[in-house]
């Protein structure tokens, strides 16, 4: 039986990594074109397809506008990024990922005959996933052929239907599993994984790819001695194969780099949006200032008009006489006065609103600066962690080298003792022959 295992585990869920928006050291960019995509949608599009109808039906029934839900994703996860997994207050995930593989870099490397068979099996597994799991909406699915072994990343949104209150269709993995026939107990996810692993094993058998017997894994209990044995095996593998440690280091570094780059891009987008709002506010303030200056000019005209004096009429004491130009100014000012009164009130309200918006933007700018500083701190910590793993890698390499030297020394000693034994035995034979003794 070949020492080849199948892997079916929960993934981290990094869409930037899966879709090669960033290329890391564990990826061979010359082979990236060989990757196969079965689905490639944004999470936003996936939520629109899965929940928009239920959301519209729910909002149509609401008589109060404050009970309507504008966006289902935001309702569950706030402003969380959509390129990595987010968690809601009720512990649901924005999406889930499984990583499926066969063998390792020694038994099924990319480009080898067995690696090609493994890729064919994974291709068939990926194409049948949605039909087997109708309550898991797959929005991103890719077969990576540009790393050391072929493997799948399948990202899905669980869909649960039939709710009587609130939204009739929701994000719920536990209910989705129940509706697909895996029960509603805590072990339903393990039951589902067992079935999927069984299907994957059957595909391997159909293609003639030998797979080792299943060992204990997630959801099963190890005895203390078994844990110790597994730990010792892992340590030995790290010592005898430094590439294993290198792979772990690269994977951790890639995860950290991916997360930091995504967060950095998210922050850059937010800063750009903030600056656009600031520019818009400045334009509005400039327009308002221009209008205020016009009102101020009219106010000065009014002050001039107030200084006008009238002469009593000689013909009628109830009438007065003023110059025609002053009369025209008074008439114009009276007409504009009513308009200016309303306009001035409106301008005051607009100025108050703009001042409030400006304060909000200033507060946000302060928070963005704090986030930039926080990101700088994370980058420093990530660099420190990278250096730590680099030193650990160097130590393990040295340890492996020391063990190799020790093994070579022991072999040399064994050879020397064997030669000594042979020499002594030859002398023993010669001595017996010289004395005419029987050689045993």
Decide which of 432 and 191 is more confident. 191
Decide which of 99 and 380 is more confident. 99
Helix (H) or strand (E) holding 101: strand 96-102
Q: Please give the pLDDT value at position 36.
A: 96
Helical spans, DSSP H, in 43-187: 43-61, 72-77, 113-132, 173-179
Structure tokens at 352: 């108050």
In Å, how far are 138, 219, 271, 289, 384 from 350, measured between CA atoms?
48, 62, 25, 11, 51
Decide which of 320 and 392 is more confident. 392
Decide which of 238 and 13 is more confident. 13
pTM comes to 0.57
Decide which of 405 and 292 is more confident. 405
CA dist 206 and 268 (Å) reads 50
Q: Please give the pLDDT value at position 369.
A: 75
CB-CB contact of 87 with 93 (8 Å)? yes
CA dist 119 and 145 (Å) reads 8
Per-residue pLDDT reduced to its tens digit, 158-194: 999 999 888 999 999 999 999 999 988 778 998 999 9
CB-CB contact of 281 with 360 (8 Å)? no
CB-CB contact of 186 with 127 (8 Å)? no
Q: How many whole angstroms from its chain centre is CA 130?
A: 22
Question: DSSP 3-state assignment of 46?
Answer: helix
Percent of the chain whose predicted confidence (pLDDT) is above 90: 34
Helical spans, DSSP H, in 144-241: 173-179, 188-206, 224-240
CA dist 349 and 369 (Å) reads 30
CA dist 118 and 149 (Å) reads 9
The per-residue pLDDT of the chain, averaged, comes to 79
Per-residue pLDDT reduced to its tens digit, 227-284: 455 455 555 544 444 454 455 455 555 555 555 555 655 666 667 666 777 777 777 7
């Amino acid at each position: 039986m070949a020492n080849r295992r199948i892997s079916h585990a929960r993934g981290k869920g990094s869409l930037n990594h899966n879709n090669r928006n960033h290329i890391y050291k564990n990826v061979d960019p010359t082979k990236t074109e060989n990757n196969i995509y079965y689905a490639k949608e944004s999470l936003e599009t996936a939520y629109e397809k899965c929940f928009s109808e239920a959301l519209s039906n729910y909002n149509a029934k609401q008589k109060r506008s404050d009970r309507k839900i504008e966006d289902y994703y935001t309702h569950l996860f706030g402003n969380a990024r959509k390129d990595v997994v987010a968690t809601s207050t009720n512990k649901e995930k924005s999406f889930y990922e499984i990583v499926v593989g066969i063998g390792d870099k020694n038994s099924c490397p990319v480009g080898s005959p067995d690696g090609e068979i493994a890729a064919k099996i994974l291709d068939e597994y990926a194409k049948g996933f949605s039909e087997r799991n109708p309550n898991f909406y797959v929005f991103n699915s890719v077969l990576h052929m540009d790393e050391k072994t072929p493997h799948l990343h399948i990202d899905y949104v669980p869909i649960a239907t039939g709710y009587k209150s609130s939204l009739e269709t929701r994000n719920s993995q536990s209910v989705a599993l129940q509706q697909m026939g895996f029960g509603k107990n805590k072990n339903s996810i393990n039951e589902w994984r067992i079935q999927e692993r069984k299907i994957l094993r059957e595909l391997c058998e159909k293609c003639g790819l030998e797979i080792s017997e299943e060992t204990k894994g997630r959801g099963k209990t190890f005895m203390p001695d078994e844990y110790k044995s597994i730990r010792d095996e892992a340590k030995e593998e790290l010592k005898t194969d430094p590439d294993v440690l290198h792979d772990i280091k690269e994977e951790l570094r890639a995860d950290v780099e991916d997360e930091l780059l995504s967060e950095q891009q998210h922050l850059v987008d937010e800063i750009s949006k903030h600056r656009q709002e600031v520019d818009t506010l400045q334009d509005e303030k400039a327009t308002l200032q221009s209008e205020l200056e016009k009102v101020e000019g009219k106010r000065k005209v009014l002050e001039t008009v107030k200084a006008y004096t009238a002469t009593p009429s000689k013909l009628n004491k109830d009438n007065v006489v003023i110059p025609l130009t002053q009369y025209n100014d008074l008439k114009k000012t009276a007409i504009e006065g009513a308009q200016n009164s309303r306009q001035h009130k409106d301008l005051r309200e607009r100025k108050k609103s703009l001042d409030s918006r400006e304060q909000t933007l200033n507060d946000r700018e302060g928070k963005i600066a704090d986030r930039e500083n926080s990101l700088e701190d994370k980058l420093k910590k990530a660099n420190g962690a990278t250096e730590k793993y680099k030193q650990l890698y160097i130590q393990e390499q040295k340890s492996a080298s020391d063990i190799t030297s020790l093994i070579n020394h022991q072999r040399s000693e064994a050879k020397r003792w064997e030669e000594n034994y042979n020499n002594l035995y030859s002398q023993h034979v010669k001595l017996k022959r010289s004395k005419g003794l029987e050689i045993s």
